Amino acid sequence: RYEGVETGTGTGQYVGTVPLSTTPSGSSYQLVDGDRAGHRTYDLNQGTSGTGTLFTDDNDVWGSGAQSDRQTAGVDVAYGAAATWDYYKEVFGRNGIRNDGVAAYSRAHYGNNYVNAFWQDSCFCMTYGDGSGNTHPLTALDVAAHEMSHGVTAATANLTYSGESGGLNEATSDIFAAAVEFHENLAADVPDYLVGEKIDIRGTGAPLRYMDKPSRDGSSRDYWDSSLGGIDVHYSSGPANHFFYLLSEGSGAKTVNGVSYDSPTRDGLPVTGIGIENAAAIWYRALTTYMTSTTNYAGARVATLKAAGDLFGEYSPTYLAVADAWAAINVGD
Ligand code: ASN
Ligand code: ZN
């Protein structure tokens, strides 16, 4: 713990009421996380550059859950950054995005009607729009974990953000978004294999992406084929997201935490799930040890098999489940 760190309380729109590490400054408090290398959370006040103003509060009780309260988005994104930091540290011993103990920072309330969130290596920071009508903020836990994980990918395999490697880059962010959700296990944001389900980004109730059967979004691919490298990376991520779901939970119909999934396989053969923690451990080791900037789907298969061999033994049941899950999305040797 840093000297002087305080435990405040915040209520976000998506995370519910949560503890927040804050920093006293005079008679006030700053949304600066002394438990996590001083991660700072800023209010861009609908601006699109710089850092706006640091969120501050007089009594260390932040946000109200209402969108009209500017602090509410700050609570969600500060908590998301903290949860993601903790996930990488607790599960993999990773000390920050670059494993160097240095914090990124977060910026909320970017622009007007901005329907996106993004990570930038150039500022080592992440930024969140308020969504359509400034009423669907992209500040949920899985979005924060997705964006922050782009920083982890950039610091490790550095998968090029186009072609098949771009799809794998996107999938890596969705995979760790799901893993962080399951690790955090919030009552207000029940863990699932959906991406952005809390945001209601289009006002239809639909999530941004589905990992059990990515084509449920109308655009993402379920299986690898030779045309995959020519499509948007948020759709070519589909087969790898599908691989991860299959490896975690297995094929077929299943309900997890009240959410129903039905995950198909291209080869018609079943896949037995190994659990999300094991699947995430395999992906993390593959990403940080074996993948490079040019890794494609065939290379990701090799990387995860090596990782599974290292962690669980070559030809172990877990290793064979990895091979089955790749075959299920049409990636074989
Ligand atoms: N939210 C998007 C993403 O993280 C931003 C982008 O298109 N890079 O994938
Ligand atoms: Zn992304």
Interval 199-229: pLDDT, tens: 999 999 999 999 999 999 999 999 999 999 9
* End-of-domain residue from the set 103, 124, 155: 155
Mean pLDDT of the chain: 97
Closest ligand 1 atom, residue 116 Cα:
1
- Rounded to the nearest angstrom, the distance between the alpha carbon of 25 and the centre of ligand 1 is 34
For residue 2, what pLDDT is reported?
Answer: 52
| Predicted ipTM > 0.90 | yes
For residue 221, what pLDDT is reported?
Answer: 98
Do 113 and 242 have their domain in common? no
Do 123 and 243 have their domain in common? no
What's the CA gap between 225 and 236, in Å, rounded?
10
Residue percentage of the chain with pLDDT more than 90: 98
The token pair that represents 109 in the structure block: 């309330």
CATH number at residue 37: 3.10.170.10
* End-of-domain residue from the set 134, 155, 176: 155
Query: Which residues span the domain enclosing 248?
Result: 163-328
Mutate to test the pocket of ligand 1, among 106, 147, 169, 241 (most ligand atoms within 8 A of CB): 147
Greatest C-alpha distance within the chain: 64
Q: 């490298």: which residue's tokens? A: 229
Residue 333 lies in a domain: no
Q: Cite the active site residues.
A: 147, 234
Do 266 and 235 have their domain in common? yes
Do 12 and 70 have their domain in common? yes
Do 62 and 144 have their domain in common? yes
Ligand closest to the CA atom of residue 140 = 1
Closest ligand 1 atom, residue 138 Cα:
1
CATH number at residue 179: 1.10.390.10
The token pair that represents 255 in the structure block: 């309900």
What's the CA gap between 101 and 36, in Å, rounded?
8
Ligand 1 pocket: which residues have CB below 6 Å?
Answer: 116-118, 146-147, 150, 170
Do 198 and 321 have their domain in common? yes
Q: Which residues contact 125 (CB under 8 A, 6 or more apart)?
A: 104, 105, 106, 107, 119
Do 178 and 300 have their domain in common? yes
pLDDT band (50, 70, 90) for residue 5: confident
What's the CA gap between 248 and 186, in Å, rounded?
20
Mutate to test the pocket of ligand 1, among 106, 118, 136, 146 (most ligand atoms within 8 A of CB): 118
What's the CA gap between 327 and 316, in Å, rounded?
17
pLDDT per residue as tens digits for the range 62-105: 999 999 999 999 999 999 999 999 999 999 999 999 999 999 99
pLDDT per residue as tens digits for the range 20-55: 999 999 999 999 999 999 999 999 999 999 999 999
Q: What is the DSSP string of 232-269?
A: -HHHHTHHHHHHHHHHHH-SEEEEETTEEEEE--TTS-
DSSP state letter for 193: S
Do 104 and 170 have their domain in common? no
Do 174 and 64 have their domain in common? no
Do 231 and 297 have their domain in common? yes
**In the chain, how many domains are there?**
2
For residue 317, what pLDDT is reported?
Answer: 98
CB crowding 178-211: b at 16 or more within 10 Å, else e: bbbbbbbebeebebbbbbbbbbebeeeebbbbbb
Do 175 and 230 have their domain in common? yes
Q: Which residues contact 258 (CB under 8 A, 6 or more apart)?
A: 190
pLDDT at 193 over 80: yes
Length of the chain: 333
Nearest alpha carbon, ligand 1 atom 5: 118
* End-of-domain residue from the set 93, 126, 155: 155
Do 324 and 179 have their domain in common? yes
- Rounded to the nearest angstrom, the distance between the alpha carbon of 1 and the centre of ligand 2 is 31
